[in-house]
Structure 1
């Protein structure tokens, strides 16, 4: 009997290492009153990072020259459970944040059914917004915007935020070696506190997020902290502008639809617009920051209703690639959905679809490459009858493929000279389409 028990004990003992190895990993706690060993807490600014060592740190040295009058401060503070929290305060700045970083974390065990959870207290956010970032590998981060929910949470005390890790994971992301596992980013002005940040293999999400696979084709307003005050009023203004033009017998014969590059016809490109397009009673429907889903919302809410232009020029997609790094197929699907909407609402209008303009100074810049991958898909959307594709991008570029700052000072938006080049490069095809008999 004793020999049998001894043999059983030996057998169990031999299994222990395998059982321990098979046990699921414990939650990855990054901050629970203090940072996990090896985790660094830092305040981030647009161009710098400032490690929190004592009770507080500010980013004045990193933003004073470039952003006078702005402020970023990160401080240790009291949490709801008696343990320490982190409070971020920022003022009049386009990018700030608190970042938890470390040597390297393997987040793959938390992807299948895992969650990211943390406590959040919003003290002030009526003039700002926040988002949450999770690293997904080398030079890879995904984010979830929290502008409107964050503003709704202002002054309501601590809340537990639980996000599905599927909010941050896309096909092909690795997550095997993440040095920046969590960042809370703020823009505009505001003050928030966070505590008890952890990844878990389970948990019930209580905070929704868009599906990255369908967001580009799902109509929605532009809910960024810097857009909420003007975006819907501009939409209503454009509805009225079109109505007045029709009432005065100046129904638009040419319409431009797009983002800030199209909106720039009203500013940097205004003189070029007057020279080339005023005679067509042209209408500019450009909204800074718009992505394909925002244009789709505007089209479905009347922006081309009641008009019958000969030609509509569509240029959209650079904010899909720049803001979210949408896959080329997803951005192209959003563009195609916009074309479908335009064809349905403007049955007698020919559509000139433009290649997304180049961005980044160098020809091999990451966003330049991403835009070119989208552009490679766009000719297939043109049928030569209703939709026509035109790529004028070479007109902006030097022979080595670089984008000169004297045409696009920020390597994204044209200045007046850039708008003149755009108009000249587009004019032959635009003239041809405008001269064709109506459909």
Structure 2
């Protein structure tokens, strides 16, 4: 009995220091599920292809996975909105002892990622997931064979997260087209990180281009095109009196909102500096790289932050810090302009939706950023919602982006505020 007890005790240090999640096959009790935007399939055998629904929204996408003889898992994806290899199904893991000095480590072979993107995600309790982007770093590894990757577990942790019972401890998330292999996935209680990650506490205020595979081919060219648009106004002797800055909702003035723009704002030589997917740090990069130069607007309308919610469910105070940093940039570069700070527009069909409630917490903090002299706050959300707080598909078809009707409502909601500021006699 004593000899058996000693033998068992001798195993404890190894168990405490390392936790294998997949070493040629998932750890006992765990499984790997392969998903795309519209379906999923468990990798029970050597290979699997995610089946398509009867009427797919993304008919050309293809997501498949296989196990190699060496135990490595290969994820192949093409034209995908999202492709995942997700480890799940086992008893929730207690990763709290690993947080202080621990790492998540694996071998990675990026076979192809020229037209794709990559992120790594770690669950943090019920309905909680944290992601680390790997687009640019992943593309640097194309064709370089197997590389050892180690992230500090703190890369995935946010203040208040509970890592005591993690039901989905790891996911490889991809988009676009590519092929990636992963092997020897494990958690080490004490490890040495080989790969840097953003600091979540300063991410919203640290300027950077948008790091998304679906945007990387057009994002910088659009930035250059916007600089050319501003220059064309200047060369023609037209002063830009009105500027909108923001994300895809602002970019939509060029599509669904085109008619409303022509009716309400074109007469002011208005410019819409909206980029789909942008978070506060991406707008900040654009403002610091010329998008407010070469013009002297009377008004700058600002709407940014809902992608800080949608992509990483960021603490509202951190998102507000990013919005404040953008306001500071606008005031510094355009001190003569009045700045209209808009509340984040409603999202999720119902008022009790998680993202709606999260954005409401951000909106509650925004009025404090308005000084009533140069920066003013306006919430147009009530004009876009039904009396019971729900959203209409006729106004926000995907519960986030505006329809043609939605843009008309938005434009009319701004008129009483903007018209006096944009009058010919208004002070510059």
Name the TM-score class by shorter chain: over 0.9
Q: 1:115 matched to which residue of 2?
A: 103
For 1:170 and 1:408, locate their aligned partners in 2 and report how far apart those are by CA, in whole Å.
31
Q: 2:409 aligns with which of 417, 421, 424?
A: 421
State TM-score, norm by structure 2.
0.95
- Which whole-Å CA distance do the structure 2 matches of 1:55 and 1:21 have between them? 33
Conserved? CA contact 1:71–1:90, under 8 Å: yes
Q: Relative to structure 1, is the Cα distance of residues 192 and 36 closer, same or farther in structure 2, using a 3 angstrom cutoff? A: same
In structure 2, C-alpha distance between the alignment counterparts of 1:437 and 1:424, rounded to whole Å: 20
> 1:317·1:331 contact (CA, 8 Å) conserved in 2?
yes
Q: CA deviation at 1:225?
A: 0.2
Which of residues 145, 157, 164 in structure 2 aligns to 1:169? Answer: 157
Q: Which residue of 2 aligns with 1:84?
A: 71
Mapped partners of 2:299, 2:102: distance in 1: 49
In the TM superposition, 1:25-174 aligns within 5 A as 25-62=16-53, 65-78=56-69, 83-101=70-88, 102-174=90-162
What does residue 5 of structure 1 align with? none
- DSSP 3-state at the match of 2:174: strand
How far has the Cα of 1:274 moved from its partner? 0.3
Matches within 5 A, 1:21-420: 25-62=16-53, 65-78=56-69, 83-101=70-88, 102-420=90-408
Residue 6 of structure 1 aligns with which residue? none
Q: Cα distance 1:14–1:68, how it changes in 2: closer, same or farther (>3 A)? A: closer
Superposed displacement of residue 176, structure 1: 1.3
**What RMSD in Å do the two structures reach over aligned CA positions?**
2.1
Task: Say how many residue pairs are matched.
Answer: 425
List runs of 5+ in structure 1 lacking aligned partners: 1-9
SS in 1 for 2:52: helix
Provide the secondary structure at the position in 1 that maps to 2:32.
strand
Per mean C-alpha deviation after superposition, the further-off stretch among 191-200 and 67-76 is 67-76
Q: What CA deviation, in whole Å up to 9, does each residue of 1:90-131 have, x standing for no partner?
A: 110111111111231111111111000001101111010111
CA distance in 2, matches of 1:427, 1:172: 42
CA distance in 1 between partners of 2:320 and 2:400 (Å): 19
CA contact (8 A) 1:63 1:70 kept: no
C-alpha distance in structure 2 between counterparts of 1:34 and 1:62, whole Å: 28
Distance in 2 of aligned mates of 1:32 and 1:380 = 52
Q: Equivalent residue of 2:106, what SS?
A: strand
User: Judging changes above 3 Å, is the alpha-carbon distance between structure 1 residues 95 and 64 closer, same or farther for their aligned structure 2 residues?
Assistant: farther
TM-score normalised by L of structure 1:
0.93
**3-state secondary structure, aligned to 2:17:** coil
Q: Secondary structure at 1:75's aligned position in 2? A: strand
Deviations 1:253-309 (A, max 9, x none): 000000000000000000100000011010110000001001110010010111100
Residue 17 of structure 1: how far off its partner (Å): 9.9
Q: Determine helix, strand or coil for the equivalent of 1:400.
A: coil
Distance (whole Å) between structure 1 residues aligned to residue 308 and residue 99 of structure 2: 24
Check 1:225–1:22 CA distance in 2 against 1; reply closer, same or farther (3 A cut): closer
Q: Structure 2: how far apart are the matches of 1:14 and 1:403?
A: 63
Runs of 4+ more than 6 Å apart: 13-24
Whether the aligned pair in 1 keeps the contact of 2:116 and 2:177 (CA below 8 Å) is yes
- Whether the 8 Å contact between 1:242 and 1:251 is mirrored in structure 2 is no
Does structure 2 retain, via aligned residues, the 8 Å contact 1:56–1:75?
yes
Q: Which moved more, 1:57-66 or 1:239-248?
A: 57-66
Separation in structure 2 between the aligned mates of residue 124 and residue 14 of structure 1, nearest angstrom: 50
The 3-state SS of whatever aligns with 1:398 is coil
Higher alpha-carbon Rg: 1
Q: Which runs of 5+ in 2 are unaligned?
A: none
SS at match of 2:72: strand
